[in-house]
């Protein structure tokens, strides 16, 4: 595995590595800082890049972003979760094509270019910059995904949002055709830090960087169909980004409910959870830990079910009350699901340590057959449990 030579990078002096590593959790398991996939946040000044990074990954409240200073150096932020990656927040005034930038090095390990456009401002200059950047970047990398956040849409009416998105999409597509780049696929999202849209958009961007996504979706589909779950999300708890969901369509209200449940569970367990008697957190309660589990019955006969999968991930399910009458089935299937996810992590850990597996192993798919056998009724669960007990005897 070759690593990016950070110390010898000619533009090292304009990098500003974010020293607040509050988001770091599992260092032993992580990739070296220089080797992680990158996501670049690009866009004109004041378009909202730093605000997005702060709100999603540092829990800054949206109102506080009003006091953010303009970024003067590239800020590199390390995110450690189910996948490790870096977010590079570029200053708006920086010229990406300046000869002092070694684009080959910057783009070498880059997974996504995220362009942030201020939808409340005149965006023609921003579109020109995007097209110029894509023209250059496409020469260096063919695997990059190009994402456009049409940002700050909180102040706009629904009709105007759609109109702006259509206009931006059309202008960019025409310009790319003009440059003979019609094969480049760009995804467009309407975003705001004042609602869930930024988390939803980031979820979709991050999902493209996860090679195990089909495996995770597959597991969630099996879990949903065997346990009569309407919708299931696998959330990264710290950022509330969902890294996978089952293949039924995402209804934004269900997503918001499931995402809000994470906040509720963390807030309640901060107040009432068991105290951790160590110096690190001054005896504060562990807000999210092993075996975190919560069920919320809603007034409309629906149930929200949250379970901790590991230190980074939580499963949040949305199901009908009548399908929750036998929670043992869900508990059993969750145990199978959790074991299967551990197998996916095992593959990732081996990759991080440079113990490269077979090509088939990378998705973790061929390890999961055993653990993804879930039960579809409670009788099967008890017969499996009985046979386990018999075989143990
Ligand atoms: N209404 C609204 N304002 C936002 C949103 N996101 C960011 N802002 C505001 O936009 C302003 C600029 O945000 P920054 O995050 O500093 O912008 P930037 O792109 O990092 O700017 P540079 O560092 O100068 O390149 C701040 O006052 C934010 O509060 C949003 O979703 N809606
Ligand atoms: Mg900034």
- Domains located in the chain, CATH noted: 38-209 (3.40.50.300), 212-272+291-351 (3.30.450.190)
> For the segment 213-270, what is each residue's pLDDT rounded down to a tens digit?
888 999 999 999 989 999 999 999 888 899 999 999 998 899 999 999 998 988 888 8
Considering 19-33, 135-149, 150-164, 349-363, the range whose residues carry the highest mean pLDDT is 150-164
> For the segment 344-373, what is each residue's pLDDT rounded down to a tens digit?
777 766 766 665 555 455 455 555 554 555
**237 vs 266: CA distance, rounded Å:** 9
* Per-residue pLDDT at 96: 67
The answer to whether 89 and 42 are in contact (CB under 8 A) is: no
Q: Is 48 in the pocket of ligand 1 (CB under 6 A)?
A: yes
Q: Is 194 in the pocket of ligand 1 (CB under 6 A)?
A: yes
User: Atom of ligand 1 at shortest distance to CA of 65?
Assistant: 29
Q: Is 54 in the pocket of ligand 1 (CB under 6 A)?
A: no
Q: Is 16 in the pocket of ligand 1 (CB under 6 A)?
A: no
**92 vs 117: CA distance, rounded Å:** 11
Average pLDDT over residues 119-139: 92
**20 vs 58: CA distance, rounded Å:** 9
> Ligand 1 center to residue 238 CA distance, Å?
22
Q: Is 43 in the pocket of ligand 1 (CB under 6 A)?
A: yes
- Whether the pLDDT of residue 16 is over 50: the answer is no
- Whether the pLDDT of residue 87 is over 60: the answer is yes
> Ligand 1 center to residue 10 CA distance, Å?
29
- H helices within the chain, ranges in order? 49-58, 103-108, 124-140, 158-178, 197-207, 213-227, 252-272, 327-352, 378-392
More confident: 115 or 6: 115
Q: Strands 293-297 and 241-245: what pairing?
A: unpaired
Pocket mutation for ligand 1, best pick of 16, 45, 65 (most atoms within 8 Å of C-beta): 65
User: Atom of ligand 1 at shortest distance to CA of 69?
Assistant: 16
- Nearest listed ligand to the Cα of residue 52: 1
């Amino acid at each position: 595995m070759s690593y990016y030579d950070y110390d010898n990078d000619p533009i090292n002096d304009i990098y500003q590595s974010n020293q607040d590593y509050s988001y770091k959790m599992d260092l032993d398991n992580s990739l070296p800082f220089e080797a992680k996939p990158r996501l670049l946040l690009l866009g004109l000044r004041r378009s909202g890049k730093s605000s997005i990074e702060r709100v999603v990954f540092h829990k800054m409240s949206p109102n506080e972003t009003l006091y953010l200073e303009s970024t003067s150096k590239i800020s590199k932020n390390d995110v450690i979760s189910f996948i490790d990656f870096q977010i590079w927040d570029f200053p708006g005034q920086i010229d990406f094509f300046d000869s002092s930038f070694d684009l080959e090095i910057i783009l070498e390990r880059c997974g996504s270019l995220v362009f942030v456009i201020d939808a409340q401002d005149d965006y023609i200059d921003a579109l020109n910059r995007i097209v110029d950047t894509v023209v250059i970047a496409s020469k260096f990398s063919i695997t990059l995904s190009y994402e456009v956040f049409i940002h700050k849409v909180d102040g706009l009416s629904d009709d105007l949002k759609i109109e702006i998105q259509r206009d931006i999409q059309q202008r960019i597509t025409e310009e790319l055709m003009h440059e003979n780049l019609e094969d480049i696929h760009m995804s467009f999202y309407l975003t705001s830090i004042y609602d869930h849209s930024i988390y939803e958009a980031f979820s979709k961007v991050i999902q493209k960087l996860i090679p195990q996504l089909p495996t995770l979706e597959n597991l969630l589909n099996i879990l949903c169909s065997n346990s009569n779950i309407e919708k299931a999300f696998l959330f990264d708890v710290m950022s509330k980004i969902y890294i996978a969901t089952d293949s039924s369509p995402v209804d934004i209200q269900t997503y918001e409910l499931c995402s809000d449940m994470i906040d509720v569970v963390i807030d309640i367990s901060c107040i009432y959870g068991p105290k951790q008697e160590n110096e690190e957190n001054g005896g504060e309660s562990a807000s999210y830990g092993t075996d975190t589990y919560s069920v919320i019955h809603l007034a409309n006969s629906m149930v929200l079910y949250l379970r901790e999968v590991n230190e980074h991930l939580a499963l949040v399910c949305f199901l009908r009350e009548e399908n929750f009458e036998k929670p043992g089935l869900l508990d059993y299937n969750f145990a199978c699901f959790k074991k299967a996810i551990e197998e996916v992590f095992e593959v990732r850990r081996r990759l991080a340590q440079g113990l490269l597996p077979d090509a088939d192993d990378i998705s973790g798919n061929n390890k999961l057959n055993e653990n993804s056998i879930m039960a579809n009724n409670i009788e099967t669960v008890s017969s499996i449990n009985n046979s386990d007990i018999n075989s143990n005897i």
